[in-house]
Structure 1
Amino acid sequence: MRAHQLDYGPRDALLVVDMQNDFCEGGALAVAGGNALVAGINAEIAAAHRAGALVVATRDWHPVDHVSFAHRGGPWPVHCVQDTEGAAFHPDLRLPAATIRVSKATAFDADAYSGFDGTGLAGYLRDRGIGRVIVCGLALDVCVRATVLDARREGFDTVLLESLSAAVDPDSMAACRREFADAGAEVRP
Protein backbone atom coordinates (compact mmCIF):
# COMPACT_ATOMS: atom_id res chain seq x y z
CA MET A 1 0.00 0.00 0.00
CA ARG A 2 1.24 3.48 -0.88
CA ALA A 3 1.51 6.00 1.94
CA HIS A 4 -0.03 9.35 1.14
CA GLN A 5 2.43 11.97 -0.07
CA LEU A 6 0.34 15.09 0.26
CA ASP A 7 -0.43 17.34 3.15
CA TYR A 8 -4.14 18.02 2.86
CA GLY A 9 -5.98 21.02 4.21
CA PRO A 10 -9.46 22.54 4.20
CA ARG A 11 -8.87 24.27 0.83
CA ASP A 12 -8.22 20.89 -0.85
CA ALA A 13 -10.59 18.44 -2.52
CA LEU A 14 -9.67 14.82 -3.22
CA LEU A 15 -11.53 13.68 -6.34
CA VAL A 16 -11.83 9.90 -6.53
CA VAL A 17 -12.86 9.22 -10.11
CA ASP A 18 -15.14 6.32 -11.08
CA MET A 19 -13.95 3.61 -8.69
CA GLN A 20 -16.94 1.51 -9.73
CA ASN A 21 -17.42 -2.22 -10.10
CA ASP A 22 -17.76 -2.10 -13.88
CA PHE A 23 -14.34 -0.42 -14.20
CA CYS A 24 -12.55 -2.91 -11.93
CA GLU A 25 -11.56 -6.48 -12.74
CA GLY A 26 -14.65 -8.59 -13.36
CA GLY A 27 -16.66 -5.58 -14.56
CA ALA A 28 -18.15 -4.81 -17.96
CA LEU A 29 -15.39 -2.33 -18.87
CA ALA A 30 -12.58 -3.46 -16.58
CA VAL A 31 -9.28 -1.61 -16.30
CA ALA A 32 -6.35 -3.89 -15.41
CA GLY A 33 -5.13 -3.05 -11.92
CA GLY A 34 -8.32 -1.30 -10.82
CA ASN A 35 -8.91 -3.48 -7.77
CA ALA A 36 -5.31 -2.99 -6.61
CA LEU A 37 -5.84 0.79 -6.34
CA VAL A 38 -8.47 0.59 -3.61
CA ALA A 39 -6.18 0.23 -0.57
CA GLY A 40 -4.02 3.19 -1.57
CA ILE A 41 -7.03 5.33 -2.44
CA ASN A 42 -8.56 4.47 0.95
CA ALA A 43 -5.36 5.73 2.61
CA GLU A 44 -5.64 9.03 0.66
CA ILE A 45 -9.32 9.35 1.55
CA ALA A 46 -8.51 8.85 5.24
CA ALA A 47 -5.66 11.40 5.13
CA ALA A 48 -7.82 13.97 3.33
CA HIS A 49 -10.76 13.42 5.67
CA ARG A 50 -8.59 13.75 8.80
CA ALA A 51 -7.18 17.06 7.51
CA GLY A 52 -10.61 18.56 6.80
CA ALA A 53 -10.30 18.33 3.02
CA LEU A 54 -13.36 17.68 0.91
CA VAL A 55 -13.72 14.15 -0.49
CA VAL A 56 -15.59 13.85 -3.81
CA ALA A 57 -16.37 10.57 -5.57
CA THR A 58 -17.48 10.74 -9.20
CA ARG A 59 -19.35 7.96 -10.96
CA ASP A 60 -20.68 7.13 -14.37
CA TRP A 61 -24.45 6.87 -13.88
CA HIS A 62 -25.85 5.95 -17.28
CA PRO A 63 -29.48 5.41 -18.23
CA VAL A 64 -30.22 1.96 -19.67
CA ASP A 65 -29.96 3.03 -23.32
CA HIS A 66 -27.08 5.54 -23.08
CA VAL A 67 -25.61 7.04 -26.27
CA SER A 68 -22.08 5.83 -25.38
CA PHE A 69 -23.09 2.17 -25.59
CA ALA A 70 -22.05 0.17 -28.66
CA HIS A 71 -25.64 -0.81 -29.55
CA ARG A 72 -26.37 2.95 -29.85
CA GLY A 73 -23.27 3.56 -31.99
CA GLY A 74 -21.01 4.56 -29.09
CA PRO A 75 -17.52 3.26 -28.34
CA TRP A 76 -18.22 1.32 -25.13
CA PRO A 77 -20.02 -1.83 -24.01
CA VAL A 78 -22.97 -1.37 -21.66
CA HIS A 79 -21.53 -0.26 -18.30
CA CYS A 80 -22.40 1.62 -15.10
CA VAL A 81 -26.14 1.55 -15.68
CA GLN A 82 -28.00 3.45 -12.96
CA ASP A 83 -28.94 1.41 -9.89
CA THR A 84 -27.03 -1.72 -10.98
CA GLU A 85 -24.24 -3.54 -9.17
CA GLY A 86 -21.85 -2.51 -11.95
CA ALA A 87 -22.50 1.17 -11.25
CA ALA A 88 -21.90 0.76 -7.50
CA PHE A 89 -18.64 1.96 -5.97
CA HIS A 90 -16.08 -0.79 -5.36
CA PRO A 91 -17.24 -2.67 -2.24
CA ASP A 92 -13.92 -2.10 -0.44
CA LEU A 93 -13.80 1.65 -1.12
CA ARG A 94 -14.21 3.44 2.22
CA LEU A 95 -16.03 6.69 1.53
CA PRO A 96 -16.82 8.81 4.60
CA ALA A 97 -20.48 9.68 5.12
CA ALA A 98 -19.71 13.30 4.17
CA THR A 99 -18.34 12.31 0.75
CA ILE A 100 -19.84 14.33 -2.09
CA ARG A 101 -21.05 11.88 -4.74
CA VAL A 102 -21.16 13.31 -8.25
CA SER A 103 -23.04 11.47 -11.02
CA LYS A 104 -22.06 12.14 -14.63
CA ALA A 105 -23.26 11.09 -18.07
CA THR A 106 -26.83 10.81 -16.81
CA ALA A 107 -28.59 12.06 -19.97
CA PHE A 108 -29.57 9.61 -22.70
CA ASP A 109 -28.08 11.69 -25.50
CA ALA A 110 -24.78 13.01 -24.12
CA ASP A 111 -21.64 11.45 -22.76
CA ALA A 112 -19.49 13.05 -20.08
CA TYR A 113 -16.04 11.90 -19.08
CA SER A 114 -15.02 14.67 -16.68
CA GLY A 115 -16.38 15.04 -13.18
CA PHE A 116 -16.85 18.70 -14.10
CA ASP A 117 -18.91 18.08 -17.27
CA GLY A 118 -22.48 19.20 -16.64
CA THR A 119 -22.33 18.48 -12.91
CA GLY A 120 -21.90 21.93 -11.35
CA LEU A 121 -18.83 20.64 -9.50
CA ALA A 122 -16.57 23.60 -10.32
CA GLY A 123 -19.00 26.13 -8.84
CA TYR A 124 -19.60 23.95 -5.81
CA LEU A 125 -15.86 23.68 -5.13
CA ARG A 126 -15.37 27.43 -5.56
CA ASP A 127 -18.29 28.10 -3.19
CA ARG A 128 -16.55 25.90 -0.62
CA GLY A 129 -13.26 27.82 -1.01
CA ILE A 130 -11.40 24.95 -2.64
CA GLY A 131 -8.18 26.00 -4.37
CA ARG A 132 -6.49 22.66 -5.04
CA VAL A 133 -7.91 19.47 -6.51
CA ILE A 134 -6.15 16.12 -6.12
CA VAL A 135 -7.30 13.46 -8.59
CA CYS A 136 -7.01 9.66 -8.69
CA GLY A 137 -9.02 6.69 -9.95
CA LEU A 138 -10.16 5.15 -13.23
CA ALA A 139 -9.39 5.31 -16.02
CA LEU A 140 -6.33 7.49 -16.19
CA ASP A 141 -6.47 7.91 -19.97
CA VAL A 142 -10.23 8.56 -20.11
CA CYS A 143 -12.22 10.01 -17.19
CA VAL A 144 -9.27 10.84 -14.92
CA ARG A 145 -7.58 12.62 -17.86
CA ALA A 146 -10.72 14.64 -18.65
CA THR A 147 -11.22 15.54 -14.98
CA VAL A 148 -7.60 16.70 -14.55
CA LEU A 149 -7.74 18.84 -17.68
CA ASP A 150 -11.12 20.36 -16.75
CA ALA A 151 -9.90 21.10 -13.21
CA ARG A 152 -7.07 23.13 -14.72
CA ARG A 153 -9.43 24.86 -17.18
CA GLU A 154 -11.59 25.80 -14.19
CA GLY A 155 -8.55 27.40 -12.55
CA PHE A 156 -7.85 24.91 -9.76
CA ASP A 157 -4.32 23.93 -8.80
CA THR A 158 -4.41 20.29 -9.83
CA VAL A 159 -2.41 17.25 -8.73
CA LEU A 160 -2.72 13.79 -10.29
CA LEU A 161 -1.82 10.82 -8.11
CA GLU A 162 -0.54 8.62 -10.93
CA SER A 163 0.19 5.54 -8.82
CA LEU A 164 -3.44 5.59 -7.65
CA SER A 165 -4.79 5.65 -11.20
CA ALA A 166 -4.75 3.05 -13.96
CA ALA A 167 -5.14 3.44 -17.72
CA VAL A 168 -7.21 1.44 -20.19
CA ASP A 169 -4.22 1.67 -22.55
CA PRO A 170 -0.91 1.82 -20.62
CA ASP A 171 0.80 2.97 -23.84
CA SER A 172 -1.17 6.22 -23.60
CA MET A 173 0.60 7.33 -20.42
CA ALA A 174 3.38 9.36 -22.07
CA ALA A 175 0.85 11.37 -24.09
CA CYS A 176 -1.29 11.92 -20.98
CA ARG A 177 1.71 13.15 -18.99
CA ARG A 178 2.53 15.65 -21.76
CA GLU A 179 -1.06 16.91 -21.78
CA PHE A 180 -1.05 17.30 -18.01
CA ALA A 181 2.26 19.17 -18.07
CA ASP A 182 1.04 21.45 -20.88
CA ALA A 183 -2.09 22.22 -18.84
CA GLY A 184 -0.06 23.04 -15.73
CA ALA A 185 -1.17 20.03 -13.68
CA GLU A 186 1.31 18.42 -11.30
CA VAL A 187 1.80 14.66 -11.63
CA ARG A 188 2.86 12.81 -8.49
CA PRO A 189 4.18 9.26 -8.83
Structure 2
Amino acid sequence: MGGKVSSMSPAPYDYDPFTSLRQNQFSDEEYENCFRFFDSQKRGFWTREDFRRFISAFFSNKQRPYFMLNDRIEEYFQDTDFNQDEKIDYNEFILAWKTTIKLAVRPISALVIVDVQNDFISGSLALHSCPANHQGEEVVPVINRVIRNVNFDVVAYTYDWHPLNHISFYENRHLRKEAPESPIRADDAHILDTVLFVGPPNLTSTIEQVLWPAHCIQKTPGADLHPDLIRIDNAIHVYKGTNPEIDSYSAFWDNMKLSKTSLDDQLRERFVTDVYVVGLATDVCVSATAMHAVENNYRTVLIEDACRGVNEREIEVKRAELAENGCIFVDSDVVPGMVAGDDRRPEVARGTFVENLKTIGRYHPR
Protein backbone atom coordinates (compact mmCIF):
# COMPACT_ATOMS: atom_id res chain seq x y z
CA MET A 1 0.00 0.00 0.00
CA GLY A 2 1.64 3.25 -1.07
CA GLY A 3 1.41 6.76 0.16
CA LYS A 4 -0.87 7.96 -2.60
CA VAL A 5 -3.20 10.82 -1.89
CA SER A 6 -6.87 9.93 -1.91
CA SER A 7 -8.83 11.56 -4.69
CA MET A 8 -12.08 11.55 -2.72
CA SER A 9 -14.49 14.13 -4.03
CA PRO A 10 -17.23 15.88 -2.06
CA ALA A 11 -20.29 13.75 -1.44
CA PRO A 12 -23.17 15.16 -3.51
CA TYR A 13 -25.63 15.47 -0.62
CA ASP A 14 -27.58 18.36 0.77
CA TYR A 15 -28.03 16.49 4.05
CA ASP A 16 -25.07 16.48 6.45
CA PRO A 17 -25.45 13.68 9.03
CA PHE A 18 -22.94 15.35 11.34
CA THR A 19 -24.91 18.59 11.45
CA SER A 20 -28.01 16.54 12.19
CA LEU A 21 -26.20 14.79 15.03
CA ARG A 22 -25.26 18.12 16.58
CA GLN A 23 -28.72 19.61 16.17
CA ASN A 24 -30.35 16.57 17.77
CA GLN A 25 -27.95 16.41 20.73
CA PHE A 26 -26.18 13.25 19.50
CA SER A 27 -29.11 10.97 20.15
CA ASP A 28 -28.81 7.21 19.56
CA GLU A 29 -31.34 7.54 16.76
CA GLU A 30 -29.17 10.11 14.98
CA TYR A 31 -26.09 7.90 15.26
CA GLU A 32 -28.10 5.10 13.66
CA ASN A 33 -29.24 7.49 10.92
CA CYS A 34 -25.63 8.50 10.36
CA PHE A 35 -24.56 4.88 10.00
CA ARG A 36 -27.41 4.11 7.58
CA PHE A 37 -26.57 7.21 5.54
CA PHE A 38 -23.24 5.69 4.51
CA ASP A 39 -24.55 2.11 4.16
CA SER A 40 -24.94 2.29 0.39
CA GLN A 41 -26.09 -1.31 -0.03
CA LYS A 42 -28.48 -1.23 2.95
CA ARG A 43 -27.06 -4.47 4.31
CA GLY A 44 -26.33 -3.30 7.85
CA PHE A 45 -22.60 -2.87 7.40
CA TRP A 46 -20.09 -0.68 5.61
CA THR A 47 -17.88 -1.84 2.81
CA ARG A 48 -14.49 -0.22 2.36
CA GLU A 49 -16.03 2.20 -0.12
CA ASP A 50 -18.78 3.09 2.36
CA PHE A 51 -16.11 3.70 4.98
CA ARG A 52 -14.17 5.94 2.60
CA ARG A 53 -17.32 7.99 2.02
CA PHE A 54 -17.73 8.32 5.79
CA ILE A 55 -14.12 9.45 6.19
CA SER A 56 -14.55 11.88 3.28
CA ALA A 57 -17.64 13.46 4.82
CA PHE A 58 -16.33 13.52 8.36
CA PHE A 59 -12.87 14.96 7.73
CA SER A 60 -14.12 17.97 5.83
CA ASN A 61 -14.63 21.70 5.96
CA LYS A 62 -18.26 22.55 5.22
CA GLN A 63 -18.54 19.34 3.16
CA ARG A 64 -15.26 19.95 1.33
CA PRO A 65 -13.17 16.86 2.18
CA TYR A 66 -9.58 17.05 3.27
CA PHE A 67 -7.24 14.93 1.20
CA MET A 68 -5.87 11.96 3.09
CA LEU A 69 -3.26 9.35 2.34
CA ASN A 70 -4.69 6.01 1.31
CA ASP A 71 -2.63 4.22 3.95
CA ARG A 72 -4.10 6.42 6.69
CA ILE A 73 -7.64 5.65 5.51
CA GLU A 74 -6.79 1.95 5.52
CA GLU A 75 -5.32 2.33 9.01
CA TYR A 76 -8.59 3.84 10.21
CA PHE A 77 -10.49 0.98 8.56
CA GLN A 78 -8.34 -1.69 10.21
CA ASP A 79 -8.59 0.05 13.58
CA THR A 80 -12.39 0.16 13.29
CA ASP A 81 -12.80 -3.41 12.00
CA PHE A 82 -12.41 -5.03 15.41
CA ASN A 83 -13.25 -8.58 14.28
CA GLN A 84 -11.25 -8.28 11.07
CA ASP A 85 -14.07 -9.47 8.83
CA GLU A 86 -13.35 -6.76 6.22
CA LYS A 87 -16.51 -4.80 6.94
CA ILE A 88 -17.69 -2.32 9.57
CA ASP A 89 -20.88 -3.10 11.45
CA TYR A 90 -22.85 -0.64 13.56
CA ASN A 91 -21.40 -1.83 16.86
CA GLU A 92 -17.84 -1.31 15.58
CA PHE A 93 -18.75 2.12 14.26
CA ILE A 94 -20.36 3.29 17.47
CA LEU A 95 -17.58 2.00 19.71
CA ALA A 96 -14.77 3.41 17.57
CA TRP A 97 -16.25 6.70 16.41
CA LYS A 98 -18.98 7.95 18.77
CA THR A 99 -16.61 9.88 21.05
CA THR A 100 -14.48 11.22 18.21
CA ILE A 101 -17.49 12.40 16.21
CA LYS A 102 -19.03 14.15 19.19
CA LEU A 103 -15.82 16.00 20.09
CA ALA A 104 -15.14 16.99 16.49
CA VAL A 105 -18.69 18.08 15.67
CA ARG A 106 -19.39 19.82 18.99
CA PRO A 107 -16.08 20.65 20.65
CA ILE A 108 -16.09 22.65 23.86
CA SER A 109 -13.42 25.23 23.19
CA ALA A 110 -11.39 27.56 25.38
CA LEU A 111 -9.34 30.53 24.24
CA VAL A 112 -6.33 30.95 26.52
CA ILE A 113 -4.86 34.45 26.15
CA VAL A 114 -1.32 34.33 27.51
CA ASP A 115 0.32 37.35 29.15
CA VAL A 116 -0.79 40.18 26.85
CA GLN A 117 0.58 42.59 29.45
CA ASN A 118 2.03 46.06 29.13
CA ASP A 119 5.57 45.15 30.15
CA PHE A 120 5.84 42.71 27.22
CA ILE A 121 4.55 45.31 24.77
CA SER A 122 5.87 48.70 25.80
CA GLY A 123 7.54 48.17 29.16
CA SER A 124 10.64 46.67 30.75
CA LEU A 125 10.55 43.44 28.73
CA ALA A 126 9.05 44.73 25.49
CA LEU A 127 9.43 42.21 22.70
CA HIS A 128 10.62 44.85 20.25
CA SER A 129 13.83 45.04 22.32
CA CYS A 130 14.38 41.27 22.23
CA PRO A 131 16.41 39.41 19.57
CA ALA A 132 13.43 38.70 17.27
CA ASN A 133 12.37 42.39 17.32
CA HIS A 134 8.70 41.39 17.29
CA GLN A 135 6.04 43.99 17.94
CA GLY A 136 3.98 42.61 20.81
CA GLU A 137 1.09 45.02 20.26
CA GLU A 138 0.37 43.36 16.90
CA VAL A 139 -1.36 40.47 18.66
CA VAL A 140 -4.02 42.70 20.22
CA PRO A 141 -6.21 43.38 17.12
CA VAL A 142 -5.88 39.74 16.03
CA ILE A 143 -6.98 38.44 19.43
CA ASN A 144 -9.81 40.98 19.56
CA ARG A 145 -11.02 39.81 16.15
CA VAL A 146 -10.94 36.21 17.31
CA ILE A 147 -12.93 37.09 20.43
CA ARG A 148 -15.54 38.93 18.35
CA ASN A 149 -15.84 36.36 15.56
CA VAL A 150 -15.60 33.06 17.42
CA ASN A 151 -18.10 31.64 19.87
CA PHE A 152 -15.71 30.22 22.46
CA ASP A 153 -17.26 28.41 25.38
CA VAL A 154 -14.55 29.67 27.75
CA VAL A 155 -12.04 32.53 27.68
CA ALA A 156 -9.05 32.66 30.03
CA TYR A 157 -6.54 35.45 30.60
CA THR A 158 -3.16 34.62 32.11
CA TYR A 159 -0.78 36.99 33.86
CA ASP A 160 2.83 36.94 34.89
CA TRP A 161 2.33 38.19 38.46
CA HIS A 162 5.69 38.41 40.12
CA PRO A 163 6.70 39.60 43.60
CA LEU A 164 9.52 42.16 43.81
CA ASN A 165 12.07 39.52 44.89
CA HIS A 166 11.32 37.08 42.06
CA ILE A 167 14.10 34.70 41.02
CA SER A 168 13.71 35.52 37.32
CA PHE A 169 14.71 39.18 37.67
CA TYR A 170 18.21 40.05 36.55
CA GLU A 171 18.23 42.70 39.24
CA ASN A 172 17.81 39.96 41.88
CA ARG A 173 20.60 37.67 40.73
CA HIS A 174 22.65 38.30 43.90
CA LEU A 175 19.77 37.44 46.26
CA ARG A 176 20.34 33.71 45.83
CA LYS A 177 23.35 31.45 45.96
CA GLU A 178 24.51 30.22 42.57
CA ALA A 179 25.19 26.49 42.22
CA PRO A 180 28.87 25.50 41.81
CA GLU A 181 28.04 23.88 38.47
CA SER A 182 26.34 27.00 37.07
CA PRO A 183 27.60 27.62 33.51
CA ILE A 184 27.68 31.38 34.19
CA ARG A 185 28.45 33.17 37.44
CA ALA A 186 25.85 35.67 38.59
CA ASP A 187 28.50 38.40 38.66
CA ASP A 188 29.28 37.79 34.99
CA ALA A 189 25.73 37.24 33.78
CA HIS A 190 23.89 39.45 31.33
CA ILE A 191 20.18 39.79 30.67
CA LEU A 192 18.83 36.62 28.97
CA ASP A 193 21.74 34.51 30.30
CA THR A 194 20.94 31.32 32.21
CA VAL A 195 22.23 30.84 35.76
CA LEU A 196 21.94 27.76 37.98
CA PHE A 197 20.89 28.70 41.51
CA VAL A 198 20.84 26.58 44.67
CA GLY A 199 17.17 25.91 45.32
CA PRO A 200 15.35 26.15 48.65
CA PRO A 201 15.60 22.85 50.61
CA ASN A 202 11.83 22.39 50.56
CA LEU A 203 11.61 22.71 46.77
CA THR A 204 14.55 21.38 44.77
CA SER A 205 18.33 21.12 44.79
CA THR A 206 19.03 23.47 41.88
CA ILE A 207 17.01 25.84 39.72
CA GLU A 208 17.94 26.72 36.15
CA GLN A 209 16.86 30.27 35.54
CA VAL A 210 16.90 32.65 32.57
CA LEU A 211 17.53 36.18 33.83
CA TRP A 212 14.93 38.66 32.58
CA PRO A 213 14.59 42.35 33.32
CA ALA A 214 12.20 42.94 36.22
CA HIS A 215 8.72 42.71 34.71
CA CYS A 216 5.04 42.27 35.52
CA ILE A 217 5.45 43.10 39.20
CA GLN A 218 2.20 42.51 41.05
CA LYS A 219 -0.26 45.43 41.06
CA THR A 220 1.86 47.65 38.82
CA PRO A 221 0.79 49.16 35.46
CA GLY A 222 3.31 46.90 33.69
CA ALA A 223 1.40 43.84 34.87
CA ASP A 224 -1.94 45.10 33.52
CA LEU A 225 -3.41 43.70 30.34
CA HIS A 226 -2.90 45.91 27.28
CA PRO A 227 -5.61 48.60 27.45
CA ASP A 228 -6.96 47.81 23.97
CA LEU A 229 -7.42 44.09 24.64
CA ILE A 230 -11.08 43.11 24.91
CA ARG A 231 -12.09 41.86 28.36
CA ILE A 232 -14.76 39.18 28.50
CA ASP A 233 -17.17 38.96 31.44
CA ASN A 234 -17.06 35.70 33.42
CA ALA A 235 -13.62 34.85 32.04
CA ILE A 236 -11.05 32.78 33.92
CA HIS A 237 -8.07 34.77 35.26
CA VAL A 238 -4.85 32.90 36.06
CA TYR A 239 -1.98 34.52 37.97
CA LYS A 240 1.34 32.70 37.67
CA GLY A 241 4.92 33.18 38.80
CA THR A 242 3.75 34.27 42.26
CA ASN A 243 6.28 32.09 44.11
CA PRO A 244 9.50 34.14 44.38
CA GLU A 245 11.66 30.99 44.20
CA ILE A 246 10.36 29.39 40.97
CA ASP A 247 9.44 30.87 37.60
CA SER A 248 6.24 29.81 35.88
CA TYR A 249 6.02 30.15 32.11
CA SER A 250 3.05 27.84 31.64
CA ALA A 251 -0.47 28.77 32.67
CA PHE A 252 -0.84 25.20 34.01
CA TRP A 253 2.35 24.48 36.00
CA ASP A 254 5.45 26.17 37.34
CA ASN A 255 8.67 25.50 35.44
CA MET A 256 9.59 22.51 37.59
CA LYS A 257 6.07 21.08 37.84
CA LEU A 258 6.09 21.39 41.60
CA SER A 259 2.80 23.27 41.81
CA LYS A 260 -0.08 23.81 39.42
CA THR A 261 -2.43 26.70 38.83
CA SER A 262 -6.21 26.46 38.89
CA LEU A 263 -6.50 26.53 35.08
CA ASP A 264 -6.77 22.80 34.41
CA ASP A 265 -9.40 22.32 37.11
CA GLN A 266 -11.42 25.27 35.85
CA LEU A 267 -11.32 24.02 32.25
CA ARG A 268 -12.41 20.55 33.32
CA GLU A 269 -15.26 21.97 35.40
CA ARG A 270 -16.47 23.50 32.13
CA PHE A 271 -15.92 20.24 30.18
CA VAL A 272 -13.43 21.86 27.79
CA THR A 273 -12.08 19.57 25.06
CA ASP A 274 -10.11 22.01 22.88
CA VAL A 275 -7.64 24.70 23.94
CA TYR A 276 -6.64 27.54 21.58
CA VAL A 277 -3.53 29.41 22.71
CA VAL A 278 -2.58 32.99 21.79
CA GLY A 279 -0.43 35.75 23.23
CA LEU A 280 3.11 36.47 24.39
CA ALA A 281 5.72 35.19 24.04
CA THR A 282 5.62 32.35 21.50
CA ASP A 283 8.85 30.66 22.57
CA VAL A 284 8.34 31.15 26.31
CA CYS A 285 4.96 31.30 28.03
CA VAL A 286 2.81 30.53 24.97
CA SER A 287 4.73 27.38 24.03
CA ALA A 288 4.93 26.21 27.66
CA THR A 289 1.17 26.65 28.06
CA ALA A 290 0.46 24.82 24.80
CA MET A 291 2.75 21.93 25.75
CA HIS A 292 1.04 21.44 29.09
CA ALA A 293 -2.37 21.65 27.40
CA VAL A 294 -1.28 18.76 25.18
CA GLU A 295 0.03 16.85 28.19
CA ASN A 296 -3.31 17.36 29.93
CA ASN A 297 -5.03 15.73 26.92
CA TYR A 298 -6.68 18.82 25.48
CA ARG A 299 -6.82 19.06 21.72
CA THR A 300 -4.44 21.99 21.45
CA VAL A 301 -4.28 24.62 18.72
CA LEU A 302 -1.78 27.50 18.58
CA ILE A 303 -3.06 30.49 16.59
CA GLU A 304 0.21 31.68 15.05
CA ASP A 305 -0.77 35.13 13.82
CA ALA A 306 -2.00 35.94 17.34
CA CYS A 307 1.43 35.27 18.91
CA ARG A 308 4.78 37.04 18.98
CA GLY A 309 8.08 35.84 20.45
CA VAL A 310 11.52 36.60 21.84
CA ASN A 311 13.98 34.69 19.64
CA GLU A 312 13.34 33.38 16.12
CA ARG A 313 15.53 30.30 16.55
CA GLU A 314 13.81 29.36 19.80
CA ILE A 315 10.40 29.90 18.21
CA GLU A 316 11.28 27.28 15.58
CA VAL A 317 12.62 24.88 18.23
CA LYS A 318 9.47 25.17 20.33
CA ARG A 319 7.25 24.88 17.26
CA ALA A 320 8.92 21.61 16.28
CA GLU A 321 8.57 20.23 19.81
CA LEU A 322 4.90 21.14 19.97
CA ALA A 323 4.18 19.68 16.52
CA GLU A 324 5.89 16.44 17.48
CA ASN A 325 3.64 16.21 20.53
CA GLY A 326 0.40 16.84 18.63
CA CYS A 327 -0.20 20.58 18.82
CA ILE A 328 -1.86 22.05 15.71
CA PHE A 329 -0.83 25.40 14.16
CA VAL A 330 -3.34 27.58 12.33
CA ASP A 331 -4.02 31.19 11.43
CA SER A 332 -6.92 33.04 12.99
CA ASP A 333 -9.10 33.07 9.87
CA VAL A 334 -9.82 29.32 10.11
CA VAL A 335 -10.65 29.27 13.81
CA PRO A 336 -14.39 30.07 13.53
CA GLY A 337 -15.06 26.93 11.47
CA MET A 338 -12.99 24.72 13.77
CA VAL A 339 -14.72 25.93 16.93
CA ALA A 340 -18.13 25.57 15.26
CA GLY A 341 -17.36 21.95 14.33
CA ASP A 342 -17.71 22.63 10.60
CA ASP A 343 -13.97 22.43 9.92
CA ARG A 344 -12.97 18.92 11.06
CA ARG A 345 -9.28 18.39 10.46
CA PRO A 346 -7.75 14.92 10.40
CA GLU A 347 -4.73 15.98 12.44
CA VAL A 348 -6.95 17.32 15.24
CA ALA A 349 -9.20 14.26 15.47
CA ARG A 350 -6.55 11.55 15.25
CA GLY A 351 -5.47 11.82 18.88
CA THR A 352 -9.07 11.63 20.09
CA PHE A 353 -9.68 8.52 18.01
CA VAL A 354 -6.58 6.77 19.37
CA GLU A 355 -7.38 7.74 22.97
CA ASN A 356 -10.86 6.31 22.56
CA LEU A 357 -9.45 3.03 21.23
CA LYS A 358 -7.18 2.87 24.28
CA THR A 359 -10.13 3.53 26.60
CA ILE A 360 -12.16 0.67 25.16
CA GLY A 361 -9.15 -1.66 25.00
CA ARG A 362 -8.99 -1.78 21.21
CA TYR A 363 -5.75 0.05 20.49
CA HIS A 364 -3.09 -2.05 18.77
CA PRO A 365 -0.21 0.15 17.60
CA ARG A 366 1.31 -0.88 14.32
CA spacing shift, 1:52–1:188, aligned 2, 3 Å? closer
Within a 5 Å distance, the mapping from 1:28-107 to structure 2 comes to: 28-31=124-127, 32-48=134-150, 51-73=151-173, 75-107=211-243
| Shift, 1:44, TM fit | 1.2
Identity %: 40
Instruction: Note if contact 1:17-1:57 (Cα within 8 Å) is conserved in structure 2.
Output: yes
Aligned residue number for residue 173 of structure 1: 315
The 1-side partners of 2:170 and 2:270 are apart by 38
Post-superposition CA distance 1:123-144 (Å, at most 9, x none): 2111210000000000000000
Q: Which of structures 1 and 2 has the bigger CA Rg?
A: 2
TM-aligned CA deviation for residue 155 of structure 1: 0.6
One-letter code aligned to 1:188: V
> Do 1:62 and 1:81's aligned partners in 2 also have CA atoms closer than 8 Å?
yes
Query: Can you give the 5+ residue segments of structure 1 that lack an aligned partner in the other structure?
Result: 1-7
Aligned length: 180
SS at match of 2:164: coil
Give the counterpart letter for 1:53 in structure 2.
D
Structure 1 residues 13-42: Cα deviation after superposition (integer angstroms, max 9, x where no partner): 000000000000x21101121111101101
Alignment match, 1:3: none
| Residue 362 of structure 2 is aligned to residue 183 of structure 1 | no
3-state SS of 1:68 partner: coil
Greater per-residue helix proportion: 2
Worse-matched range after superposition: 78-87 or 111-120: 111-120
Structure 1 letter corresponding to 2:142: G
**Distance in structure 2 (CA, Å) of the matches to 1:13 and 1:52:** 6
The question of whether the paired residues in 2 share the 8 Å contact of 1:15 and 1:56 is answered with yes
Q: Do the aligned partners of 1:13 and 1:130 also contact (CA within 8 Å) in 2?
A: yes
Q: Distance in 2 between matches of 1:147 and 1:92?
A: 23
Return the match for 1:139 from 270, 278, 281: 281
**TM-score with structure 1 setting the length:** 0.90
Question: SS in structure 1 opposite 2:113?
Answer: strand
Paired amino acid for 1:136: V
> Structure 1 residues 47, 10: CA separation in 2 closer, same or farther (over 3 Å shift)?
farther
- Once residues 163 and 19 of structure 1 are traced to their aligned partners in structure 2, the CA distance between those partners, rounded to angstroms, is 14
**1:128 corresponds to:** 270
Counterpart CA distance in 2 for 1:99 and 1:46 is 14
**2:292 matched to 1:156?**
no
**CA 1:39–1:120: 2 relative to 1, 3 Å:** same
**Cα displacement string for residues 78-122 of structure 1 (whole angstroms, at most 9, x for unaligned residues):** 000000000000010011122211100011111100000121211
Structure 1 distance, partners of 2:165, 2:270, is 35
Q: What SS is found at the alignment partner of 2:139? A: helix
Deviations along 1:135-181, one digit per CA (max 9) or x if unpaired, are 00000000001000000011100000011101101232321221111
Q: 2:118 aligns with which of 21, 27, 38?
A: 21
Instruction: Tell me, yes or no, if the aligned pair for 1:102 and 1:115 is still in contact at 8 Å.
Output: yes
How far apart are the structure 1 equivalents of 2:314 and 2:243?
A: 28
Root-mean-square deviation (Å): 1.7
Change (3 A) 1:109 1:44: same
The verdict on how the C-alpha distance between 1:93 and 1:187 changes in structure 2, with shifts beyond 3 A counting, is same
In structure 2, what is the Cα distance between the partners aligned to 1:60 and 1:47?
A: 27
How many angstroms apart in 2 are the aligned matches of 1:72 and 1:52?
Answer: 40
